[in-house]
Amino acid sequence: MDFKKRARELVSKMSLAEKMSQMKFDSPPIERLGIPGYNWWNEGLHGVARSGSAACFPQAIGMAATFDPSLVFRIGEAVSKEARAKYNGYRIFGGTGIYQGLTLWSPNINIFRDPRWGRGHETYGEDPYLTAVTGAAYVDGLQGDDEKYRRVDATLKHFAVHSGPESSRHSFDVQPSKRDLWQTYLFAFDYIIRKSRVAAVMGAYNRLDGVPCCGSEELLEENLRGRMGFEGYVVSDCGAIYDFYNGHGTSPDAPHAAAQAVKAGCDLNCGGAYASLNVAYETGLLTEEDIDRSVIRLFEARMRLGMFDDDCPYNSIPKDAYDTKEHAALSREAAVDSIVLLKNNGILPLNPGKKYAVIGPVADDKLVLLGNYHGTPKKTTTLQRGIIEEVEAAGGSVLCARGCHIVCKDLGSWEENPLREALVAASEADIVIMCLGLNPTFEGEEGDGYNSQRGGDKPDIDIPEVQLELFREIAKLGKPIVFVSVSGSCLNLCEADEKADAVLQCFYPGAEGGYALADVLFGRVSPSGRLPLTFYRSTDDLPPFDDYSMENRTYRYFKGKPLYPFGFGLSYTSFSYSFKNAKKTDSGITIKLSVKNTGSRDSKEAVTLYLAAGDNEDEPPVRLIYLKKIFIRAGDEFELDCEIEQDALKYADSVGNYRMPSGSRLVLAGSCRDESAKARKIIQL
């Protein structure tokens, strides 16, 4: 079926005004042509969002922490089936409203370059290759594999070079080097577009080298459609074209801004700027051919989603196939795999038959399960509830105390002061489980929650002082402490690492987060999560927030010593690695690697390989080039043929061209740091 031809024929029957109306995200019906109204805005970051009941999977940063693209693919499948189920119900009303359609504005594949960025937990972390393979898996899961139709449209965002500060995103101009641009900021876009035939791309708010991203011909035409070969449609971020004349000052008014965006290749406007397309046309800023190009792309997409056909196989997905038991089980599996064990002096796994105190302001907080851009799961299990159910089922007991407010320190004399309750609970317990950190109201998008005055960004990476004081008071009692850090980003865990017996990082884990945490704490499952970003020791380790140079940023370029490096994560068992051989192939390199479970527990293991740059200054000093999650029973050995693709090996030179490394190189297994690698091998490239 030639959808482009069909789209061209349908668009040819429209008046110019009708065509222009279809370039707005809330496209009205054209009844004379049998075209229903359609609202393009829908969200699916880690579940169908803002549309009532839906499964809630771990936040994107948690999905990245699984280090398992195959699991992320399964999540993408589940999310898209729920989106279809809801659409199949909504379409009986003759059109769809906001958050009811098949065009999901996800995933967010921007690089989490600075842990202060509030939206960082929407991403897959700080590494371009991890972001690329995880994002590609999610896109493939979302869009399906039918030869004719797409299950939903995935949308890569935000194109490009966008990762804070949120407070200045409507006026900020980013000027990265060409090496950083292609090696870091555009790598995942380039990879996913070529691998996954993604349907759509969303432009960013900011300027890139002086030009607003949604109106940059160099960015959208030369790089996106030209160099990367993108064939889909481009949508603006919401209000981004308004920013041309009201934030960036690069256009005098709405008609000029709208014309600039359309000519650059932005087909669909989220916002009101394209209401001025008629003025832009009448004043000669746009031609009808400019309009046709975009509208044809948009209707080709709608046709590929089966909106005008009766034979689309996805129409048969039942209208009630959302928030199912199967998807809850998948959410729990993903949440378990996303939890990262950072320290364990032998206290874990715990015996559930003992007496526990669960303390902390995020322990019973539903918000820490959901992250942002989430739906409304019919059932949620907080971290505290998961622990209680596990312990009480085994005959143990649990005392609970909030201990402090999440951030407020100075309380009025009439307000609750829960510290004493926490001290009593801890003194009565055998072991204290402290759940401290943030919830999504403290790190998010511009306008979100408590940090709205900072645009959603964090001022630093510190745990709120009132929570640290609670931790210090509990630590004085001398009881064993398991410290559960809850956040969507890096926090300074130096004090926890020093004083607690065990430390775990729990990224916003989804509706099943409490059960997942209990699975790990009490040893039903061995932890296998890995950090998708560096955990620094101090905010002082970070360059200025608005500096987009990659110098001294992320594990690839950081010159200091992190508390916990990218890719770090402990297990309840142990693994040994040994390289067998390596050979160069037409498609990259194949490295034969043996991984043995040398401990006493069955466990998953995230197998990772890193390439050291040697003397080539164009390359990052070290970078991830391979990952695969495997399950190995205690005592078993698994032999892997690690196929390392050219895309993982390539690097960008000083003018932004991709090159292949050559010569003798060091490959590290299991760690990005040479001193903690589980095996090393010199290979010839």
We report the CATH number of the domain holding residue 451 as 3.40.50.1700
Tell me how far CA of residue 599 lies from CA of 571, 596, 634, 671, in angstroms. Answer: 10, 9, 6, 19
Residue whose C-alpha is closest to residue 338's, from 505, 502, 512, 139? 505
Residue whose C-alpha is closest to residue 162's, from 455, 404, 572, 367? 455
Based on the domain organization, do 407 and 367 belong to the same domain? Answer: yes
- What residues contact 310, with CB distance under 8 A and at least 6 apart? none
- What residues contact 664, with CB distance under 8 A and at least 6 apart? 614, 682, 683, 684, 685
Instruction: Please indicate whether residue 237 is annotated as part of the active site.
Output: yes
Enter the tokens of residue 229.
């070969």
- What is the Cα–Cα distance from 138 to 69, expressed in whole angstroms? 8
How many distinct structural domains can be found in the chain?
A: 3
Phi first, then psi, for residue 53 (nearest 5°) are -65, 130
Spell out, as residue ranges, where the chain has pLDDT lower than 70.
1, 410-413, 447-454
Instruction: Please indicate whether residue 390 is annotated as part of the active site.
Output: no
- Helix pair angle (383-393, 513-521), 10° resolution: 50
Neighbours of 574 (CB within 10 A): 16
Enter the tokens of residue 143.
């869009």
Q: What is the pLDDT of residues 344-397, one digit of tens each?
A: 999 999 999 999 999 999 999 999 999 999 999 999 999 999 999 999 999 999
* CATH (domain of 13): 3.20.20.300
- What's the number of CA atoms in the CB half-sphere (13 Å) around residue 156? 33
Q: What is the pLDDT of residues 65-109, one digit of tens each?
A: 999 999 999 999 999 999 999 999 999 999 999 999 999 999 999
Residue 520's SS3 state is helix
Based on the domain organization, do 590 and 632 belong to the same domain? Answer: yes
Enter the tokens of residue 1.
């079926």
Preceding peptide of 170 cis, ω within 30°: no
Whether residue 340 contacts residue 505, with contact meaning beta carbons closer than 8 Å, is answered with: yes
Q: What does the DSSP assignment read for 575-601?
A: EEEEEEEEEEETTEEEEEEEEEE-SSS
- Is 488 part of a structural domain of the chain? yes
- Is 343 part of a structural domain of the chain? yes
- Measure the CA angle with vertex 174, ends 170 and 179; round to 5°: 150
- Is 106 part of a structural domain of the chain? no
Last residue of a domain, one of 508, 525, 557: 557
Whether residue 122 contacts residue 489, with contact meaning beta carbons closer than 8 Å, is answered with: no
Last residue of a domain, one of 557, 587, 618: 557
Whether residue 211 contacts residue 218, with contact meaning beta carbons closer than 8 Å, is answered with: yes
The pLDDT value given to residue 412: 66
Tell me the residue type at 381. Answer: T
Based on the domain organization, do 398 and 468 belong to the same domain? Answer: yes
| Beta strand 588-597 pairing with 575-585 | antiparallel
Residue 435's SS3 state is strand
Q: What is the pLDDT of residues 2-60, one digit of tens each?
A: 999 999 999 999 999 999 999 999 999 999 999 999 999 999 999 999 999 999 999 99
Residue whose C-alpha is closest to residue 446's, from 172, 160, 129, 255? 172
Active-site choice (140, 443, 446, 512): 443
What DSSP character marks residue 51? S
- What is the Cα–Cα distance from 640 to 38, expressed in whole angstroms? 48
Last residue of a domain, one of 270, 289, 304: 304
Tell me how far CA of residue 415 lies from CA of 410, 411, 412, 419, 474, in angstroms. Answer: 10, 6, 5, 12, 21
Based on the domain organization, do 517 and 622 belong to the same domain? Answer: no
- Is 71 part of a structural domain of the chain? no
CA 310 to chain centre: 35
Based on the domain organization, do 230 and 259 belong to the same domain? Answer: yes
- Is 648 part of a structural domain of the chain? yes
Strand partners, 340: 505
Based on the domain organization, do 341 and 192 belong to the same domain? Answer: no
The pLDDT value given to residue 418: 92
- Is 562 part of a structural domain of the chain? no
- Is 563 part of a structural domain of the chain? no
Q: Is the dihedral of CA 131, 134, 140, 141 positive or negative?
A: negative
Active-site choice (68, 77, 180, 237): 237
Whether residue 404 contacts residue 470, with contact meaning beta carbons closer than 8 Å, is answered with: yes
Based on the domain organization, do 395 and 268 belong to the same domain? Answer: no
The pLDDT value given to residue 600: 97
What DSSP character marks residue 674? G
- What is the Cα–Cα distance from 619 to 623, expressed in whole angstroms? 9
Tell me the residue type at 678. Answer: K
Based on the domain organization, do 333 and 461 belong to the same domain? Answer: yes
| Beta strand 431-437 pairing with 200-203 | unpaired
Based on the domain organization, do 601 and 643 belong to the same domain? Answer: yes
Whether residue 99 contacts residue 50, with contact meaning beta carbons closer than 8 Å, is answered with: yes
SS3 breakdown of the chain: % helix, strand, coil, rounded to 5?
35, 20, 45
Based on the domain organization, do 183 and 277 belong to the same domain? Answer: yes
- What is the Cα–Cα distance from 621 to 625, expressed in whole angstroms? 13
Neighbours of 581 (CB within 10 A): 10
Based on the domain organization, do 359 and 477 belong to the same domain? Answer: yes
The pLDDT value given to residue 1: 64
Domain with 610 in it? 575-684
* CATH (domain of 599): 2.60.40.10
Q: What is the CA radius of gyration of the chain?
A: 25
How many residues make up the chain in this entry? Answer: 685
Tell me the residue type at 403. Answer: G
- What is the Cα–Cα distance from 383 to 369, expressed in whole angstroms? 8
- Is 148 part of a structural domain of the chain? no
Residue recorded with tokens 């991203």: 213
Tell me the residue type at 359. Answer: I
Q: Is the pTM of this model over 0.85?
A: yes
The pLDDT value given to residue 309: 95
Helix (H) or strand (E) holding 134: helix 128-143
Based on the domain organization, do 580 and 551 belong to the same domain? Answer: no
The pLDDT value given to residue 417: 80
